[in-house]
């Protein structure tokens, strides 16, 4: 009821705020001219009034997040809208007080000035962001050559070229989900807007999604446009990512983000890089190239295709069902069961010459969860002691082809004994007692008759 009420109130507060069609605007301007009105004053007053309404609407929704939820989290990508939200959170004193945690996903492929810009924003508003990156590299705020080498060794320097969906999972979705979980988020604030494009055309100011027992989503800028965001930033001294001064309407990964327009037309608009830009609140060039519906992200995901051949338009964090995987992970507090985070980790284990037990699972699978709460998880904790072997977990629902080919997996959970040669031997018995599984492991992958 809270979310429905918030949406209803937002529509009332923001009534009439959607941008009028260009034709209607032209007719209104023509009429105003014939009446001898000061057009610039009329436009300025209209924009001021609109921004006041939008600000009130957004602040109202943010206060709901702060006042009625325990742990609001704002994943901040430092795009224009996110900078506006950061400023709004500062206005309601939610940053210095720590009432709202700001979370940043560091993909290790961000524009060079993104993390330095984050530092400046932290200094201005008096907070410290929680930064999450690819598993095992999550604390790397300063991207030294050594850090890049560590990433390349673990995941591959060309992962984004070879498998963009796996790249999204490793560098964006998993750190994003881990961040929300680590921070205990019960409501997620984000900068999605209807004018971003078709995938977001009907979002409302508040949503609930089936994650973590019903994690709520707040979209305080849902009814804003990109032009509103720039206008608000100019009127309120909001610092924006320095790349807008170089012709970037949106700030993504350096590997697939280009200025708009760009010399090669990769963004869909060919022209001199930086010919459209926003510097100190003033536009240079044809701003409509950035501001028309769905155009903010036209310089993003350049030359990237999904596995089905379609053009990539989303990073994977906000696509339908992405949050589904943010349920409590299994063995999340276990000291005995270790994590294999990627196929490369499995390959390293099988090449190590060490015996082990690997459980292939899916956190949403009822057979993995079992009906007795943590009972099944506790059984595998005991298995590590009883077998004398290290026990690992590997999430198989996101690597189905890999686990089919390498870990004998057709369903979840699947238990494998890894022998010294690296061979995976599947535990076929339905007897899932600790004693039976331990005997299987200690006997070198043989099931007792």
Domain presence at residue 11? no
The answer to whether residues 361 and 242 belong to one domain is no
249 has a pLDDT exceeding 50: yes
β-pairing verdict for 391-395 and 356-361: parallel
Average pLDDT over every residue of 58-78? 96
Cα–Cα distance measured from residue 119 to residue 191, given in angstroms and rounded to the nearest whole number: 20
Cα–Cα distance measured from residue 294 to residue 278, given in angstroms and rounded to the nearest whole number: 18
**Which of 44-67 are b and which e, b meaning 16 or more Cβ less than 10 Å from the residue's Cβ?**
eeeeeebbebbbebbebbbebbbe
The answer to whether residues 255 and 351 belong to one domain is no
Residue with tokens 């089936």: 210
90 within 8 A of 238, measured Cβ to Cβ: no
Cα–Cα distance measured from residue 296 to residue 219, given in angstroms and rounded to the nearest whole number: 17
Cα–Cα distance measured from residue 169 to residue 176, given in angstroms and rounded to the nearest whole number: 9
Domain presence at residue 322? no
Total domains present in the chain: 2
**Which of 6-30 are b and which e, b meaning 16 or more Cβ less than 10 Å from the residue's Cβ?**
bbebbeebbeebeeeeeeeeeeeee
- Using DSSP's 3-state secondary structure scheme, residue 156 falls into coil
The answer to whether residues 240 and 97 belong to one domain is yes
Instruction: Find all residues with CB under 8 Å of 165, minimum gap 6, and list them.
Output: 306, 307, 316
C-beta neighbour count of 204 within 10 angstroms: 18
Chain centroid to Cα 345, Å, comes to 23
59 within 8 A of 10, measured Cβ to Cβ: no
What is the token pair recorded at 349? Answer: 């284990």
Instruction: Find all residues with CB under 8 Å of 235, minimum gap 6, and list them.
Output: 48, 51
Mean pLDDT of the chain: 82
- Using DSSP's 3-state secondary structure scheme, residue 269 falls into coil
How do residues 343-399 score in pLDDT, each as one tens digit? 999 999 999 999 999 999 877 665 676 533 445 677 888 898 899 999 999 988 778
Selection from 385, 390, 395, 366 nearest residue 434 by Cα: 385
Q: pLDDT: is 90 or 198 the higher one?
A: 90
Domain presence at residue 379? yes
Domain presence at residue 323? no
- Domain containing residue 397: 337-443
C-beta neighbour count of 406 within 10 angstroms: 19
Selection from 389, 147, 186 nearest residue 139 by Cα: 147
The CATH number of the domain holding residue 391 is 3.40.30.10
Average pLDDT over every residue of 92-98? 97
Selection from 246, 203, 247, 233 nearest residue 221 by Cα: 203
118 has a pLDDT exceeding 90: yes
The answer to whether residues 349 and 438 belong to one domain is yes
For helices 22-34 and 39-68, what crossing angle results, to 10°? 140
Cα–Cα distance measured from residue 406 to residue 343, given in angstroms and rounded to the nearest whole number: 9
The answer to whether residues 85 and 221 belong to one domain is yes
- 0.75 exceeded by the pTM? no
Residue with tokens 């043989």: 446
Selection from 341, 376, 410, 401 nearest residue 137 by Cα: 341
Burial of 401 (0-12, 13-18, 19+ CB in 10 A): exposed
Residue at which a domain ends, from 269, 296, 323: 296
Which helix (H) or strand (E) segment holds residue 405: the answer is helix 400-406
Cα–Cα distance measured from residue 242 to residue 245, given in angstroms and rounded to the nearest whole number: 6
Domain presence at residue 449? no
Q: pLDDT: is 419 or 170 the higher one?
A: 419
The answer to whether residues 268 and 343 belong to one domain is no
Considering 65-74, 141-150, 157-166, 399-408, the range whose residues carry the highest mean pLDDT is: 65-74
Cα–Cα distance measured from residue 257 to residue 331, given in angstroms and rounded to the nearest whole number: 38
The answer to whether residues 169 and 251 belong to one domain is yes
The answer to whether residues 289 and 352 belong to one domain is no
The answer to whether residues 111 and 176 belong to one domain is yes
The CATH number of the domain holding residue 127 is 3.40.50.620
Residue at which a domain ends, from 279, 296, 313: 296
Q: pLDDT: is 277 or 430 the higher one?
A: 277
213 has a pLDDT exceeding 80: no
What is the token pair recorded at 408? Answer: 């004998």
What's the confidence (pLDDT) of residue 410?
A: 86
The answer to whether residues 245 and 343 belong to one domain is no
Domain presence at residue 123? yes
Domain presence at residue 401? yes
pLDDT category at 238 given cuts 50, 70, 90 is very high
DSSP β-bridge partners for residue 414: 360
Domain presence at residue 318? no
Q: What share of the chain is helix, strand, coil (3-state, %, to 5)?
A: 40, 10, 45
Cα–Cα distance measured from residue 424 to residue 403, given in angstroms and rounded to the nearest whole number: 11
Which residues of 83-200 form beta strands (DSSP E)? 101-105, 130-132, 187-189
The answer to whether residues 282 and 343 belong to one domain is no
Residue at which a domain ends, from 233, 266, 296: 296
Average pLDDT over every residue of 23-46? 64
The answer to whether residues 432 and 287 belong to one domain is no
């Amino acid at each position: 009821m809270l979310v429905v009420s918030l949406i209803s109130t937002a529509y009332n507060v923001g009534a009439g705020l959607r941008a009028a069609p260009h034709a209607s605007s032209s007719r209104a301007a023509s009429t105003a001219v014939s009446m001898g009105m000061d057009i610039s004053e009329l436009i300025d007053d209209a924009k001021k009034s609109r921004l006041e309404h939008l600000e009130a609407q957004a602040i109202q929704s943010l206060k709901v997040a702060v006042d009625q939820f325990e742990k609001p989290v704002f994943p901040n990508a430092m795009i224009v809208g996110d900078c506006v939200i950061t400023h709004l959170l500062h206005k309601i004193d939610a940053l210095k007080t720590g009432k709202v945690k700001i979370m940043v996903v560091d993909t290790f492929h961000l524009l060079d000035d993104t993390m330095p810009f984050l530092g400046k924003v932290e200094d201005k508003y008096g907070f410290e962001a929680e930064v999450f990156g690819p598993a095992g590299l999550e604390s790397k705020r300063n991207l030294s050559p050594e850090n890049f080498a560590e990433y390349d060794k673990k995941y591959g320097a060309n992962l984004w070229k070879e498998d963009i969906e796996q790249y999204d999972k490793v560098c964006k979705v998993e750190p994003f989900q881990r961040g929300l979980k680590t921070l205990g988020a019960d409501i997620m604030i984000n900068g999605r807007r209807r004018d971003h494009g078709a995938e977001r055309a009907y979002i409302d100011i508040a949503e609930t999604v089936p994650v973590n027992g019903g994690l709520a989503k707040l979209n305080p800028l849902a009814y804003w446009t990109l032009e509103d965001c720039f206008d608000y930033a100019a009127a309120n001294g909001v610092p924006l990512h320095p790349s807008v001064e170089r012709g970037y309407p949106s700030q993504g990964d350096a590997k697939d983000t280009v200025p708009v327009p760009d010399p090669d037309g990769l963004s869909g608009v060919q022209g001199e890089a930086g010919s459209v830009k926003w510097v100190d609140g003033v536009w240079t060039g044809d701003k409509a190239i950035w501001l028309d519906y769905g155009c903010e992200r036209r310089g993003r995901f350049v030359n990237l295709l999904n596995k089905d051949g379609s053009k990539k338009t989303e990073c994977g964090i906000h696509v339908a069902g992405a949050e589904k995987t943010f349920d409590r992970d299994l063995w999340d507090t276990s000291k005995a069961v270790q994590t294999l985070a990627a196929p490369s980790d499995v390959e390293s284990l099988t090449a190590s010459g060490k015996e082990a037990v690997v459980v292939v699972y899916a956190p949403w699978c009822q057979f993995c969860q079992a009906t007795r709460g943590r009972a099944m998880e506790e059984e595998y904790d005991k298995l590590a002691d009883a077998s004398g072997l290290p026990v690992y977990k590997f999430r198989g629902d996101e690597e189905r082809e890999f686990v089919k080919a390498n870990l004998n997996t057709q369903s979840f959970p699947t238990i494998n004994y890894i022998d010294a040669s690296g061979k995976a031997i599947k535990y076929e018995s339905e007897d899932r007692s600790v004693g039976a599984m331990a005997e299987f492991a200690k006997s070198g992958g043989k099931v007792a008759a």
